[in-house]
Structure 1
Amino acid sequence: MKLFDWLSFGRVSEISPEALNEQLESVQVVDVRTLVEFQQSHIQGAINLPITQFSKKAISELSLDQSIPVVTICLSAHRSIPATRRLKQLGYDVKQLQGGMKAWWNRRFPVVSGK
């Protein structure tokens, strides 16, 4: 990846919390927050891969299905920007959650705690 790809600013495709809540059964959710953040509260079915570990090898170990859209998530839609760029480079149909988990929580959409 190029340096620009790792910058947590710029534009990437996004999905609103409302749209994600409606489409949750038909997307793969990759949460790029730390393990501690993920365990405190995450979206049901999300897979955790912290952005600090976002290598091509680690992504391949997630066994994501390239035929199913991916949504990346972080706390406030900054750390998920480089993850979205990387997955797009690898051929995934990917968007980030607009506003991150803060937006999800503000709408009181369901979350789970623990692993």
Structure 2
Amino acid sequence: MKPRILSLPSEAATDAVGYFGRELAFEVDPADLAQDLADGRTDGYVLVETRSPGAYEEAHLPGAICLPYREITEESTRDLDRDLVYVCYCESIYCNAATQGAYRLARLGFTVKRLSGGITTWLAHGYPTEAGMPVPWTP
């Protein structure tokens, strides 16, 4: 009997390159982000906490703005720089606030990515966070 994971045929390597390349175009690895932050390489993107202001106050990624996904509208994003990439994150792989936030931003014409694993994975790796009241983002 064939293993379950092989019940469907595998795609050709060229198809896999396209598929995984598209997936990686929308994902940010926590280790890469942590290294960029440690090296001061923060130009070109904005970290977006898509959970509630209360979650942001408790702990958020360094330099992140607070933009709960339910509040993402044309009006709330009016002053955001459309030339930047917005990296959305939420609690964990069991939360879809980052996906919802990225979707809503993309529908408004913003370039977006999502942090893999959310703040839970970030913390599990021992990367730093900040705490405090949300501050409106200014370009």
TM-score for both structures, normalised by structure 1: 0.79
Query: Mind listing any 5+ residue stretches in structure 2 that lack a counterpart?
Result: 1-22, 134-139
Q: List 4+ stretches of structure 1 deviating above 4 A.
A: none
Change (3 A) 1:54 1:101: same
Corresponding position of 1:15 = 28
Structure 1 residue 50: Cα displacement: 1.3
- Partner residue of 1:98 out of 106, 110, 116: 116
Per-residue deviation, residues 63-94 of structure 1 (Å, max 9, x unmatched): 22222211001111511101111222222221
Corresponding position of 2:51 = 33
SS at match of 1:87: helix
Give me the whole-angstrom Cα distance separating, in 2, the residues matched to 1:113 and 1:98: 21
Deviates further, 39-48 or 50-59: 50-59
**Contact 1:81–1:96 (CA under 8 A) maintained in structure 2:** yes
Give me the whole-angstrom Cα distance separating, in 2, the residues matched to 1:75 and 1:20: 16
Aligned residues: 103
SS at match of 1:59: coil
Corresponding position of 2:88 = 72
Give me the whole-angstrom Cα distance separating, in 2, the residues matched to 1:69 and 1:53: 19
Give me the whole-angstrom Cα distance separating, in 2, the residues matched to 1:89 and 1:21: 28
Corresponding position of 2:19 = none
Q: RCO (CA 8 Å, sep 6+): is it higher in 1 or 2?
A: 1
Identity of aligned residues (%): 28
SS at match of 1:58: coil
Query: Mind listing any 5+ residue stretches in structure 1 that lack a counterpart?
Result: 1-10
Give me the whole-angstrom Cα distance separating, in 2, the residues matched to 1:51 and 1:89: 12
Counterpart amino acid of residue 16 in structure 1 = D
**Contact 1:28–1:64 (CA under 8 A) maintained in structure 2:** no
Corresponding position of 2:132 = 114
